Structure 1
Amino acid sequence: MTVRERIEELELKILSPYAAKSRNADREREELPCEFRTAFQRDRDRVIHSKSFRRLKHKTQVYISPGDHYRMRMTHSLEVAQISRTIARGLMLNEDLTEAIALAHDVGHTPFGHSGEYALQDILGQFRHNEQSLRVVEYLEKEGRGLNLTLEVKDGILNHTGDQEPITLEGCIVRAGDRIAYLCHDYDDGLRAGMLKCADLPTGVSKVLGHNPSEMITVMVADIITQSADKSEVRMSPAVRQAMDEFRQFMFAKIYHSQDLEHDRKKAKYVIHKLYEYFLANPEELPTDYREREDRWGLSTTVVDYIAGLTDQYAIHLFHHLFIPSTWGGSGSERWKKECI
């Protein structure tokens, strides 16, 4: 019996009957099984080693060009994974599947956070970061071969937000863990930035969840574990659910739609619009591997794939190179092409 087979046997013995089991994992393209890792462990490792995951360390969470101690997409994804694994362990569900979904859920996010996403929505009429994340792992990674992740992980990525619920409880955990993480940690960053004070929290939120971000996470995680134990769904108590919804409304009013951040959001959207217009008119300026994809996906989709994959700083670098005059004898007009994602 291999190490992987022992782990699969252990899952059958100790995990909840509602847990997804590694031995039942399904891939679109069949592969020889690993001797040591389960299918979900392999998925997690593929995500961690992917270029799209590495780029998350330079992509905005909420604050554009923040200081060293503010969240970026990678730290957010790591925090979602930690919160979600805690819930999965408490419910005796599959931690490896949970972690793989959590780490991959935002790999398709644009530069400049949701401002970049909204800019591409304006351009295309339809663009969602969860759908782009699925596209990244299915088609764009590994020079177009994709990561060939399990269907369970891909479903969790696609349905971590939106109207459709994930097919696994592990996916439902990440859906809840993502919301807990971004609310509490964006609140924490808001306190650090001086945009919020603990006293600003609505009474209904502070009374149920508390004021401290760590305390808030603990309350919501504990409530999910208590309310969902031995059940076929992931749920919260009505009181905590109501407090969380009120907390979310507060964060949208005070942070996500704050007028204090509107100027930077507009500038970020402008950069995205101008880059899209430029590369649509000048496709020969795209990196070679993207130009080769045009026949398969069409020019507009290829340009969107390129722009969505950029980090914040590289998008700004491109904009500066393409639209801002520079002194003669600068760093060279070809260098930026060689630094493509």
Structure 2
Amino acid sequence: MTDRPALRLAGPAPFATDPAASRGRLHAEPGSAHRSPFQRDRDRIIHCSAFRRLKHKTQVFVEHEGDHYRTRLTHSIEVAQIARTLAKALGLDEELAEAVALAHDLGHTPFGHTGEDALAACMAPFGGFDHNAQALKIVTRLERRYAAFDGLNLSWETLEGIAKHNGPLLPSAAPLPYAIAEYCAGHDLELATHAGPEAQVAALSDDVAYNNHDLEDGLRAGLFTAEEARTLPLVGAAFEEVEELWPGLDPIRVQHEALRRVFGAMVEDALAESRRLLAEAAPGSAAEVRALGRPVVAFSAEMRADIAAIHGFLMQRMYRHWRVARMRAKAAKVVAELFAIFMEAPALMPPDWSRAALAAADEPGRARVASDYIAGMTDRFALEEHRVLTDPLARA
């Protein structure tokens, strides 16, 4: 039996971002005869160095621990797939949603959130560190591929989505990350509003992806059992449904079939709730979506409660598991020691980086160069760089 054809919208929704009406790029470029501005953004992101490095940056586990756990690259691809599905079903621009989804993790450090926390602690006296701000810095400054400009020169809408896909950035609530404040001083991304609908889709897709794949990776790693996972909302009902349909099915297949139902339930809920919110608000354009003061792409209250229970379980049983905590402690030590070494001796960084650090006008400037260098490292490279710089017997 084949899949039934999905229902297709007659055309884009009135509140979708129109690529023909894009606010353009900071540096003017000729348009493409074959690709929309957002398709070009997506392609530039896929081809950039930072995107390739995501292959060896991890979510929870350290990269060398196994071939089956998610990396930042596989996670980003999964988020992009979900974002395209949601965008298509809601009548939004699929290429813009995909571009934001593919770029959302470019600024992550090695060793997942552990590395980010460690680098943020190191950078606390110098303006802090935030992976969303770092992603914006990568696509606007640190990637150096084109003759006419630094960065990727992405469309305004894609940059806006990278900067604030998680919501408005209000200086009154918390100090703006310096990389975002610095960029927006010359190119206003309207930080006080919600992002456009496609960026909201990318943010929600991130939630769907990581909750589901962390359940799968945690089970695969043996950090908790299927019986323990079955106590969770959504998960338990999914296991029961699979076992009723396929009695005696191999446990690994039961697990996969159950988790894909959890995944599907989150996507269906997101679509239903987003359609309700959009119908209620009836925005006539993407600009009206931004002006609403609240998101229009969201889970229902019931699903948010279920996801909170899943996240709480993962926090206790996975993210704080002693095996993960042991590796987190080592990873944090590596990041902190690398930062201290490069602050004391910038010449130990590769020539381009050391020149930039030595040319910096002050200590915060040098710290930001060291931070940028470390943030760009893969797990494996950070471990090797630390070994070379701290082991007297290691060859440089």
For residue 34 of structure 1, what is the aligned residue in structure 2?
A: 32
Deviation, structure 1 residue 205: 4.0
For residue 162 of structure 2, what is the aligned residue in structure 1?
A: 157
Give the alignment of 1:88-103 within 5 angstroms: 88-103=87-102
8 Å Cα contact 1:80/1:177 also seen in 2: yes
TM-score after normalising by structure 2: 0.76
Q: Which stretch shows the higher mean deviation, 293-302 or 308-317? A: 293-302
8 Å Cα contact 1:205/1:246 also seen in 2: no
Q: Residue 174 in 1 paired to residue 202 in 2?
A: yes
What secondary structure does 1:34 align onto?
A: coil
8 Å Cα contact 2:234/2:262 also seen in 1: no
Return the alpha-carbon distance in structure 2 between the equivalents of residues 113 and 91 of structure 1. 32
What secondary structure does 1:14 align onto?
A: coil
Aligned length: 318
For residue 271 of structure 1, what is the aligned residue in structure 2?
A: 334
Deviation, structure 1 residue 204: 3.1
- Counterpart of 2:142, as a letter, is L
For residue 258 of structure 1, what is the aligned residue in structure 2?
A: 321
8 Å Cα contact 2:168/2:195 also seen in 1: no
Deviation, structure 1 residue 245: 1.7
8 Å Cα contact 1:159/1:175 also seen in 2: no
Q: Which stretch shows the higher mean deviation, 107-116 or 152-161? A: 152-161
8 Å Cα contact 2:168/2:194 also seen in 1: no
- Counterpart of 1:204, as a letter, is P
What secondary structure does 1:35 align onto?
A: coil
- Counterpart of 2:143, as a letter, is E
Task: Give me the identity figure in percent.
Answer: 38
Return the alpha-carbon distance in structure 2 between the equivalents of residues 214 and 158 of structure 1. 30
C-alpha change, 1:172 and 1:208, in structure 2 (3 Å) is farther
Deviation, structure 1 residue 70: 0.8
Return the alpha-carbon distance in structure 2 between the equivalents of residues 238 and 267 of structure 1. 38
Q: Residue 148 in 1 paired to residue 153 in 2?
A: yes
Gaps of 5+ in 2: 1-9, 170-192, 240-254, 284-295
Deviation, structure 1 residue 101: 0.5
Return the alpha-carbon distance in structure 2 between the equivalents of residues 120 and 32 of structure 1. 39
Higher relative contact order (CA 8 A, sep 6+): 2
Q: Residue 308 in 1 paired to residue 378 in 2?
A: no
For residue 21 of structure 1, what is the aligned residue in structure 2?
A: 18
C-alpha change, 1:163 and 1:197, in structure 2 (3 Å) is farther
Deviation, structure 1 residue 260: 2.7
For residue 133 of structure 1, what is the aligned residue in structure 2?
A: 135
8 Å Cα contact 1:156/1:166 also seen in 2: no
C-alpha change, 1:296 and 1:32, in structure 2 (3 Å) is farther
C-alpha change, 1:246 and 1:191, in structure 2 (3 Å) is same
- Counterpart of 1:159, as a letter, is K
Q: Residue 204 in 1 paired to residue 228 in 2?
A: no
TM-score after normalising by structure 1: 0.87
8 Å Cα contact 2:360/2:366 also seen in 1: no
C-alpha change, 1:255 and 1:203, in structure 2 (3 Å) is closer
Question: Deviation digits for residues 18-65 of structure 1, max 9, x if unmatched?
Answer: 111111222222211111111000000000000000000001111113
- Counterpart of 1:32, as a letter, is P
Gaps of 5+ in 1: 1-12, 334-341
Deviation, structure 1 residue 309: 0.2
Give the alignment of 1:2-151 within 5 angstroms: 14-26=11-23, 27-64=25-62, 65-125=64-124, 126-142=128-144, 145-151=150-156
